[in-house]
Amino acid sequence: MKPNNVKRSHWYLYNTLFFIEHFLGPDLYNKLLGDTEKKLYTAIDEYITQNPKPDDFRLIEYQKGEYSEPVINPLYPVVLRGAASEWPCKEKWTFEYFSENYGDEEVAIVFNETKTHKDDNEVRPKPIVRRNIVLKLRDFIKGVKNGSKDYLRAWRILDEQPALRKDFDYQWLGKFKPWDGLNLNHYLFMGGKNTMASIHCDYSTTSYIQVQGTKKWIFYPTNHRLFLGARPRRVNWFYTDADIYNLNDPDYPLLKHAKHLEVILNPGDVLYFPSLLFHQVENETEIISVAYKFASFRHGFKASKMLFICFMLATKPWLFETLIPWREDTLGYKKKSVY
C-alpha cells in the first residue's frame, strides 16, 4: 500500500529499485542506479510539496476498565493502559531483584552515544552497537546506576529461565497470538535514562509489557520506509540510520515527509503493534520491559508485500535459520532457549 501523497508511478519505481538493490547490494546498486534513485527522490519531494495528503495513521488507546480482553489491530498500535498493573512482575521485577538472582548471567549490550544537534542544541542519545561486548548482569546494572549509557536489548532470559514467566498472566497475554503465530519468543529490555533504539521494524507482531519506568515510542507507518530511507540489507529486519531530530540531513532527503505518532508507556501498560511497523524507542527513566513476539506470515504479507518478499529472501540469516530459536541474535551473542 503506497503513501497517500505519493504518485503510483513513483511508488512502483521506488519498489522496483528497492527489490533490485536487495540482489545487487549497495555498492553495485549505487554505481548502476544511484542517479536514477536521486532523480526519483527529487520528483517525489516536488510532488509531495505540491500535493500534501497525509496518511490515516493513528494510535488506538484504551484506559483501564474500557477493555477486558486483549485488543489488536492489523494496521495501528494499540495501548492498553494498566493491563499488567496487577501482575507479579510489576512489583517484583527491579534492578536489585535481577542483580541478586541473575547477576552472574552474561549479557550482550548496546552502547548509546550522545550527540548535539545544531538546530536545537539539545544533547540526544544515538545508539551504537558494540559487538561482542559481554558483561555480567550485575556489572551492567551497576553501570546503569552510575549513569552508563549501556542498553540491554532482546535478552532471552525468559526463554532460558521459564520460572520468570510465572510473573505474567499468560492466559490473558496468550490471546494476542493468532492461529498462525509461529516462533514465539520473549525478549527482556533493561536500560538507564536516555538510552534508546533507533528506527527499525521486524517481521514479528509484538505485545510489549512495560514493567518499570517510562518509555517513549515513536511509530511510523510501514509504507513510510520510503521517507525514512530504510534499505534492503538482506537481513530479517529493517532499519534506518535516519535521525528524526535532524530533518535536513542530505542523506535522507525525504525524511521531512515522514509522519509519526508518539506515546509514553508507564509501568503496567501493555502495547500491541503489528508486523513491520517502524518505531523508535527512548527510555525516559531507568526501565525494565518485556516483548512477547510471534511471527505470522499472513500478518507480514498484509503489512507489506515488498518487505514480506525481502524477508523471505533474506540471507543474513537465511529464513530457515530465522525460525530456529537457538540461533545467534543480532548482536552476535549466542543464547540458549528452552524451546
On the 0-12 / 13-18 / 19+ scale of CB atoms within 10 A, 261 is: middle
Predicted TM-score of the model (pTM): 0.89
- How far is the C-alpha of 215 from the C-alpha of 151, rounded, in Å? 13
Q: Where are the domains of the chain?
A: 1-54, 55-322
Which candidate, 324, 277, 328, 327, places its Cα nearest to that of 304? 277
Report residue 256 as a C-alpha cell: 521531512
Pairing label, strands 123-136, 106-116: antiparallel
Report residue 206 as a C-alpha cell: 509484538
Residue pLDDT tens, the chain, 339 long: 899 999 999 999 999 999 999 999 999 999 999 999 999 999 999 999 998 888 889 999 999 999 999 999 989 999 999 999 999 999 999 999 999 999 999 998 887 765 555 555 566 666 555 555 889 999 999 999 998 888 999 899 999 999 999 999 989 998 998 888 887 889 999 999 988 889 999 889 999 999 999 999 999 999 999 999 999 999 888 999 999 988 989 999 999 999 999 999 999 999 999 999 999 999 999 999 999 998 888 999 999 999 999 999 998 877 766 666 544 443 343 433 322
Report the amino acid identity of residue 250: P
Task: Tell which CATH architecture fits domain 55-322.
Answer: Sandwich (2.60)
Report residue 122 as a C-alpha cell: 539539545
122, 129, 270 from 209: Cα distances, Å? 30, 24, 5
To 10 degrees, what angle do helices 95-102 and 137-145 make? 150
Other beta carbons within 10 Å of 324: 12
Omega within 30 of 0 (cis) for the link into 221: no
CB of 144 closer than 8 Å to CB of 137: no
Other beta carbons within 10 Å of 77: 22
CB of 70 closer than 8 Å to CB of 80: yes
- pLDDT at position 109 is 87
CA angle 12, 15, 18 (to 5 degrees): 155
Report residue 261 as a C-alpha cell: 505518532
What backbone phi and psi angles, to 5 degrees, belong to 315?
-120, 0
Q: In whole angstroms, how large is the CA radius of gyration of the chain?
A: 20
- pLDDT at position 322 is 63
